Amino acid sequence: MIRMLRTRLGAVRNVVRVASCGYSNGPVMPPCDFTPSPYKGPDYGKARDIRKNHLNPVVSTMTYYKEPLLVHQGYMQWLFDHEGRRYLDMFGGIVTVSVGHCHPKVTAAAKDQLSKLWHTTHIYMHPQVHDFAEKLTSHLPGDLKVVYFTNSGSEANDLAILMARVHTGAFDIISLRNAYHGASPYTMGLTSLSTFSYPLANGFGCHQTANPDVFRGVWGGANCRDSLSQTTRSCSCGDGACEAGDNYANQLKDVLMHSCPKKVAAFFAEPIQGVGGVVQYPKNFLPQAAELIRERGGLVIADEVQTGFGRTGSHFWGFQTHGITPDIVTMAKGIGNGYPLAAIVTTPEISQSLNKALHVNTFGGNPVACAVGSAVLDVIKEEGIQANAARVGEVLIRGMMKLRDQFEVVGDVRGKGLMVGVELVTDKQSRQPLPAAEVSKIWEKCKDMGVLLGKGGLYGNVFRVKPPMCITEEDAQFACEVLEVVLKECQ
């Protein structure tokens, strides 16, 4: 009886804490009809000690906030800490939770498959991998119909590098400065952010070209982006033209002429840069880049790890917003709604290149992972997730644009759908990055008011706003209101 009373009391405490989340004079958090179960894990102090003593120090380096959250439970767009406090997750576990934390249909699919078959590898056939492969490739255009499943985006990009080099017989690969494609030994050469660079020999044959950033780069103006939000820089481009896109394409041409042999293996690009701070390229840049690469026999590889599965709102895949069809597409994160799952999709011809030797991924195409991935695709379709990303994304971007116009510290707002970046600066004229301490102050206060934001960009001065795509317009408005209150406090 006593134990039952304690359990009920704990549930009541959770509800009270949830209801009182945020400052008493702050915006009212949208309602939630979910109550988390009582937390039964190690206390906060012990959890921090375990993290310090038994997890690699780099894990602690990546931990968010001065007092890191001890997350206990998730439900759709909400996270709950060990004390039952509720947070609006506007970062989606680093852009990974696509249709919602513990989405009922996805959870049910995982449970059902767990009760039948956990693992086989490719040495046997099982229905889930075949069903998912057919369903996934039906969402891709043209001859992009052959899939190889892996466990992470880095693995997918690793394999794309290998496949491109074997297929073309060339070695050199070009990526963009400020890009992030993984931190494995192979992909470390593609990633071009010093914060992820070790003083080791890597990236043989990898070259970087100028990042086509219309806010911080050499070229760019007020009409360059395919976005509701443009930069405040002046622009002299006429209709249908983009001088910035042409100039950055010429930079790529210069790299090809001076740094590469006559034939190259591939060009890698995220349709919108993620870790680099939600950087959008000028119009016409990617089509020109693709043409330059194909003229030299190379493949065009789209890294859709963050932009895929409807997140941009207007299209299912980010590359479609640029009007190109790549030769290889890599994907992860949202594909499994947080379950370890990734894939590389290419054409039948290019896929044959792996037959020149054996290649195996023990857990690629895992039955549970494929069941989860298939359920995610069903939810995206049945619940209109892509349309929701477009609709709520517009509310979010317009709300952030108002903050840009209101506060000197908000230098730029950019993005499509529910992939949004808010860059903080000392002032709009100089565009100097806001110092880390000031960025963290704003970031911490948003957390204290119940809104979790990501950070990115080379200087860590960009708020990455990429929530589960099930969020509502009310949620988006709440996030904007919280940021407005915090910016006023921090002026």
Query: How long a stretch of residues is the chain?
Result: 491
**pLDDT at 294 > cutoff 90:** yes
User: Given a cut of 80, is residue 23 above it in pLDDT?
Assistant: no
Give the model's pLDDT for residue 16.
Answer: 36
Residue 103 identity: H
Q: State the DSSP code for 410.
A: E
- Does pLDDT of 115 surpass 60? yes
Give yes or no for residue 136 having a pLDDT over 80. Answer: yes
Collapsing DSSP to helix, strand or coil, 300 comes out as strand
249 touches 282 (CB < 8 A): no
For tokens 């992909």, the residue is: 187
Annotate 224-233 with b (16+ C-beta within 10 A) or e (fewer). bbbbbbbbeb
Q: Which pair of structure tokens corresponds to residue 362?
A: 């023990």
Look at residue 14 in the predicted model and tell me its pLDDT: 40
Q: Which residues pair with 106 in a beta bridge?
A: none
Q: Does residue 362 have a pLDDT over 50? A: yes
The predicted pLDDT at position 198 comes to: 87
Q: Which two tokens stand for residue 296?
A: 């030299």
Letter string b/e over residues 135-169, b meaning 16 or more CB atoms within 10 A of that residue's CB:
ebeebbeeebbbbbbbbbbbbbbbbbbbbbbbbbe
Asked whether the predicted pLDDT for residue 197 surpasses 60, the reply is yes
pLDDT score, position 24: 55
CA distances from 271 to 214, 318, 319, 321, 387 (A): 14, 5, 5, 8, 19
pLDDT at 481 over 60: yes
Q: What is the mean pLDDT of residues 68-72?
A: 95
Average pLDDT over residues 465-484: 98
pLDDT digits (tens, 9 = 90+) for 440-452: 999 999 999 999 9
pLDDT bin (cut points 50, 70, 90) of residue 214 is: very high
Residue with tokens 């997750």: 89
Average pLDDT rounded to a whole number, residues 172-199: 93
Domains of the chain, with CATH numbers? 107-382 (3.40.640.10), 384-491 (3.90.1150.10)
Distance CA 463, CA 474 (A): 20
pLDDT tens readout for residues 421-437: 999 999 999 999 999 99
Residue 226 · residue 280 · CB < 8 Å? yes
> How far apart are the C-alpha atoms of 223 and 366, rounded to whole Å?
45
The residues pairing with 208 across neighbouring beta strands, listed in sequence order, are: 175
Question: Residue 7's pLDDT is what?
Answer: 38
DSSP characters for 270-287? -SSBTTTTSBPPPTTHHH
* Interstrand relation of 206-209 and 173-176 (parallel, antiparallel or unpaired): parallel
- Residues 222, 236: Cα–Cα separation, whole Å: 9
DSSP output for 312-357: TSS-SSGGGGGT---SEEEE-GGGGTTSS-EEEEE-HHHHGGGGGS
- Position of tokens 């995220």? 270
For residues 17 and 427, give the distance between their C-alpha atoms in angstroms, rounded to a whole number.
38
DSSP bridge partners of 146: 346
Which residue in the block uniquely carries the two structure tokens 């299209």? 315
Residue that the structure tokens 């709604």 belong to: 337
SS3 411: strand
Q: Residue 10 pLDDT more than 50?
A: no
CB 89 within 8 A of CB 81: no
Q: What is the pLDDT of residue 12?
A: 38
Cα–Cα dist 189/171, whole Å: 13
CA distances from 107 to 188, 206, 371, 373, 395 (A): 34, 40, 10, 11, 29
Q: What distances in angstroms separate CA 475 from CA 27, 185, 289, one per listed residue?
A: 11, 39, 38
Q: Of 210, 182, 179, nearest to 192 (Cα)? A: 179
8 A C-beta contact, residue 335 and residue 342: yes
Residue 191: predicted pLDDT: 95
How much is the pLDDT for 25? 67
**Rounded to a whole number, what is the largest CA-CA distance in the chain?**
79
**pLDDT tens string 450-470:** 999 999 999 999 999 999 999
